[in-house]
Structure 1
Amino acid sequence: MEKTILVAIDGSVYSGNSLEYLANLFGSDSSLSLHLFGVVPSGGGGKEWMFDVDPLRSQSAETDQRASRARKQLRDAEDRLVRGGISRERIATKVRIATSVSGAIRDEAKHGNYDSVVIGRRGLGSMGNVFFGSISGELVEKCHNVPLWIVDGRVSAERFLLAVHSRPSSLLAADHLAYMLKNRPGAEICLYHSNSVFGAQQAATAEEFHLQWGKEWCDKYLDLDNFLFYAHCQLLVEGGISRSRIRQLPAQMHLDVGSDLLRQAKQHGCGTIVIGRRRRDLAKGQLKGVSDKTLKQAQDLAVWLAG
């Protein structure tokens, strides 16, 4: 089955970083295709909202210029990926005019058959108000139907840190990671559990895993008293990752789990942190959960939010 990734492009160095990241990881993976998506914000005049409901309505000259610039940015992005080893046949492009950039990305992610959405973010320690700073924040808050990959700065290390915990969302993140890496036999993954000294997360019951993985599998592999280290490893192995490429790091407790994940990633040479997202109805406010705190402080790292 072919894997398809939606990549938000705006022609900035930040989206360029995401292209470099994808080419480094998947340049030799012929089972993966990339859909480059550019959004033209229709601003000014007060009536541009009509373009969303009536795409045949005549566009302003300014919007036409923005669309032409966006198409050139997509061509440049495609050429950059080809130079990075991804064949042109594996790349598709699309430009959309919309009043909300993040809304257009969410809509495309919702209605397209994508395995993940990739967006580059300004390489700062907090989400700024520049184009991809604010857009990435909105997507983290509102886009829950497709895994999100946020690329901050330039990512050089190719090892992965999978943040494990005793919840179904964590196993779903492991399943996503295994699926995306199954044609990269050399991928290395570190399993790590960090728990907060205050307000430690309560483990799920075994029954909460049965719907997704079945009682028989759960009875055999669930190790709830060990933060599901064994279960995560089993899912990765079943997904095609060699057990010799999976390393379990000692579990620890810290005041700030998000900062600890970043510290562990740096210490063990991991360029990507993979985190299982809480369900939308259980999620806390912006920058309050572990995943949001990790994103806020990430620099020269990619963070995958899945689950």
Structure 2
Amino acid sequence: MMEKNILVAVDGSTSTGSSLDYLAQLFAHDSELTIHLLSVIPSGGGGKDWMLEVDPLRAESAGSDKRTVAARKHLKDAEERLLRSGFAKKQIQVKTKTATSISNAIREEAERGHFDSVLIGRRGLGSVGSMFFGSTSGDLVEKCHRVPLWIVDGKVRALRFLLAVQSHPASLMAADHLAFMLKNHTTADICLYHSNAVFGSQQVARPEDFHAQWGKSWCDKYLDIDNFLFYAHAQLLVDNGISRHRISQLPAQMHLDVGTDLLRQAKQHQCGTIVIGRRRRSLTGGHLKGVSDKTLRQAQNIAIWLAG
């Protein structure tokens, strides 16, 4: 069995607490899961704390020492919260890291550690909340492309997943990620849904674009590009151990705003998580990036997984 490793950014905020509760709700009884709690100590200010990144033996300033104590407390509180939720102590690892940029530190840790996903909570937008982009989570969405990113907004209660289906390899990669993370999970259902924009559409991939990842024989048998890959997504989930009775297909629709539609469908079908495939950074800027951005901007009390 392959172990699943999740990197969780911890800062002591209520949004961190919500993200930990979300994790516990889904995976508290998954013995193959290891949670790596990371608290980044911001070096900031006009001091020399940034030198700790290149010279760990350098003495910390008084301000940095206070931030270190706070970071360790945040980690201890987070660990205790997970233990109360049913995780075993051996499943939890903790780490602090000093850096000038919190988002860059999280991204670098994720990429060096070969994690399966990065989980970060964000404060809900609300009527007085800060704009999403420009925040740590927004920075990670923009720059963290090598590791799947989970953004948890507010309190997430529903266990069902909405998998956004597209005729593109990134979408199938998202399905593969979802299937891997849900192995041994017996209660979460998955709704496959395709929403297409009325004005403007993405370029449909060719069958050859899928061969490198899934092989020609599998693609010849299961790819249904003209049907938005509904069948291929379902088959990939089944191939990875997800029971067919846990997978349902919603009717495809066209809307002016795909991001808004995904959120509407998730609420209507009681889905607490939306899974979206996105292209590699070199290919972003097109339809898939726009959909994930718009969905994240409007998300409230829901989790968004970006993978691909």
- Normalised by the shorter chain, which TM-score bucket? over 0.9
Measured after TM superposition, the shift of residue 107 of structure 1 is: 0.8
Number of matched pairs: 305
Aligned residue in 1 for 2:157? 156
User: In the alignment, is the contact (CA less than 8 A) between 1:5 and 1:118 conserved in 2?
Assistant: yes
Aligned-residue CA RMSD (Å) = 1.7
Question: How far, CA to CA, are the matches of 1:102 and 1:23 in structure 2?
Answer: 24
Aligned residue in 1 for 2:271? 270
Measured after TM superposition, the shift of residue 89 of structure 1 is: 0.9
Aligned residue runs from structure 1 range 81-100, under 5 A: 81-100=82-101
CA displacement, residues 69-108 of structure 1 (integer Å, 9 cap, x when unaligned): 1101101100000111111110000001111101110110
Aligned residue in 1 for 2:203? 202
Q: Which amino acid aligns with 1:272?
A: T
Q: Which amino acid aligns with 1:302?
A: A
Q: State the TM-score, normalizing by the size of structure 1.
A: 0.96
Runs of 4+ off more than 6 Å: none
Aligned residue in 2 for 1:305? 306
| Structure 2 unaligned regions, length at least 5 | none
User: In the alignment, is the contact (CA less than 8 A) between 2:166 and 2:228 conserved in 1?
Assistant: yes
User: In the alignment, is the contact (CA less than 8 A) between 1:125 and 1:296 conserved in 2?
Assistant: no
Question: How far, CA to CA, are the matches of 1:288 and 1:236 in structure 2?
Answer: 23
Aligned residue in 1 for 2:116? 115
Measured after TM superposition, the shift of residue 48 of structure 1 is: 2.8
User: In the alignment, is the contact (CA less than 8 A) between 2:16 and 2:121 conserved in 1?
Assistant: yes
Please state if 1:128 is matched with 2:130: yes
Question: How far, CA to CA, are the matches of 1:261 and 1:19 in structure 2?
Answer: 24
Question: How far, CA to CA, are the matches of 1:136 and 1:270 in structure 2?
Answer: 22
Question: How far, CA to CA, are the matches of 1:154 and 1:144 in structure 2?
Answer: 25
Question: How far, CA to CA, are the matches of 1:198 and 1:48 in structure 2?
Answer: 50
Question: How far, CA to CA, are the matches of 1:76 and 1:211 in structure 2?
Answer: 44
Measured after TM superposition, the shift of residue 46 of structure 1 is: 4.2
Q: Which moved more, 1:171-180 or 1:51-60?
A: 51-60
Question: How far, CA to CA, are the matches of 1:77 and 1:98 in structure 2?
Answer: 21
Measured after TM superposition, the shift of residue 128 of structure 1 is: 2.3
Measured after TM superposition, the shift of residue 202 of structure 1 is: 1.9
User: In the alignment, is the contact (CA less than 8 A) between 1:118 and 1:149 conserved in 2?
Assistant: yes
In structure 1, the residue corresponding to 2:68 is in which secondary structure? helix
CA displacement, residues 147-170 of structure 1 (integer Å, 9 cap, x when unaligned): 000000000000000000000000
Measured after TM superposition, the shift of residue 39 of structure 1 is: 0.3
Aligned residue in 1 for 2:222? 221
Q: Which amino acid aligns with 1:62?
A: G
Measured after TM superposition, the shift of residue 186 of structure 1 is: 2.0
Aligned residue in 1 for 2:72? 71
Question: How far, CA to CA, are the matches of 1:41 and 1:81 in structure 2?
Answer: 24
Aligned residue runs from structure 1 range 1-307, under 5 A: 1-124=2-125, 128=130, 134-284=135-285, 289-307=290-308
CA displacement, residues 173-194 of structure 1 (integer Å, 9 cap, x when unaligned): 0000000001102220000000
**CA 1:133–1:181: 2 relative to 1, 3 Å:** farther
Percent identical: 70
Measured after TM superposition, the shift of residue 134 of structure 1 is: 0.3
In structure 1, the residue corresponding to 2:233 is in which secondary structure? helix
Question: How far, CA to CA, are the matches of 1:288 and 1:105 in structure 2?
Answer: 21
| Structure 1 unaligned regions, length at least 5 | none
Q: Which moved more, 1:225-234 or 1:56-65?
A: 56-65
In structure 2, the residue corresponding to 1:49 is in which secondary structure? helix
Measured after TM superposition, the shift of residue 49 of structure 1 is: 2.6
Question: How far, CA to CA, are the matches of 2:217 and 2:35 in structure 1?
Answer: 37
CA displacement, residues 130-161 of structure 1 (integer Å, 9 cap, x when unaligned): 9x970000000000010000000000000000
In structure 2, the residue corresponding to 1:289 is in which secondary structure? helix
Measured after TM superposition, the shift of residue 125 of structure 1 is: 5.5
Q: Which amino acid aligns with 2:196?
A: N
In structure 1, the residue corresponding to 2:283 is in which secondary structure? coil
Q: Which amino acid aligns with 1:101?
A: I
Q: State the TM-score, normalizing by the size of structure 2.
A: 0.96
Q: Which moved more, 1:289-298 or 1:55-64?
A: 55-64
Measured after TM superposition, the shift of residue 288 of structure 1 is: 6.3
